[in-house]
Amino acid sequence: MIWIKDNQGGCTYKCQMNTPIVRQPPGCQHPDWKDHWESIYAEKNPAEVSWYQSHPQHSLSLIGDTGIGTTASIIDVGGGASTLVDHLLMEGYRDITVLDIARSAIEQAENRLGDRSQQVTWVESDVTSYAPGQTFDIWHDRAVFHFLTLEHDRECYLKTLNKALKPGGHVIIATFSDSGPNQCSGLDVVRYSPEALSQALGPTLRLAEILTENHHPPSGGLQQFVYCRFSRNA
């Protein structure tokens, strides 16, 4: 393992010599976001966070429904310690990028995957300031977008998404539904219906598929999610 420091004031990265590395500066407008999520992952193991899933069935189903197959380039926004990357690797996907604001979340996933982590590009970045180094067939986000409670932050997110998504690409976003909780991990969220989410993302993305989920966090209770798959015109 080596440590790489971004001399322009960015984050420090833990990596293996042959692991693809993307250096991104921290979200300059929201340094408190990083502190919050680093503390969450420092206090809990991956199976204890409220959004944990051992088998992300809806995400995998919607990725499969794009029809692109295992040659698809995929970015998992806020993927951190999620097990989605494990399942994608098992299914044969090889062009996978995982982005998370918390280095500790990325490290948990790397440690879990072992040598397989070298097949993944890991990006430590605030998505609202992420400068994508490639474009993607599929943009996947489970439970990041709903934390963006200010319009300006949503605009920054969409600017990044539009730069990162290929023509004809697909966007899969899961948020708390309009009957879901008002908060998660001590933060306020915006709840969405499929129609409200479609309006928030703008006219360049066409709503293609909707799934709902009653998610039971490890600590108990119920979180009602809505998953939407959008397609972009070629």
**pLDDT single digits (tens) 134-191:** 999 999 999 999 999 999 999 999 999 999 999 999 999 999 999 877 767 777 899 9
Closest of 155, 130, 18, 153 to residue 75, by C-alpha: 130
Q: What is the mean pLDDT of residues 180-204?
A: 89
Locus of tokens 């908060």: 183
Assign 45 a pLDDT band (cuts: 50, 70, 90): confident
Closest of 57, 46, 50, 35 to residue 102, by C-alpha: 35
Amino acid making up residue 96: I
Report d(CA 201, CA 205) in Å as an integer: 7
pLDDT of residue 16: 42
pLDDT of residue 32: 84
Q: Is the pLDDT of residue 7 over 50?
A: no
3-state SS, residue 146: helix
Q: Is the pLDDT of residue 21 over 80?
A: no
Q: What is the mean pLDDT of residues 24-38?
A: 68
CA dihedral (161, 163, 165, 168) positive or negative: positive
Report d(CA 155, CA 148) in Å as an integer: 10
Q: Which of 6-15, 36-45, 157-166 has the highest mean predicted lDDT (pLDDT)? A: 157-166
- What are the φ and ψ backbone dihedral angles of 189, each rounded to 5 degrees? -130, 165
Q: Which residue has the higher pLDDT, 167 or 52?
A: 167
3-state SS, residue 227: strand
For 216, which DSSP code? -
Domain boundaries defined on the chain: 22-232
Locus of tokens 């999610």: 225
3-state SS, residue 135: coil
Report d(CA 141, CA 144) in Å as an integer: 6
pLDDT of residue 1: 27
Assign 70 a pLDDT band (cuts: 50, 70, 90): very high
Q: What is the mean pLDDT of residues 64-92?
A: 97
End-to-end alpha-carbon separation of the chain, Å?
A: 41
Instruction: Determine how many CB atoms are found less than 10 A away from the CB of residue 98.
Output: 27
Amino acid making up residue 121: T
How is domain 22-232 classified at the CATH fold level?
Rossmann fold (3.40.50)
Residue-averaged pLDDT of the chain: 85
pTM of the model: 0.85
Amino acid making up residue 230: F
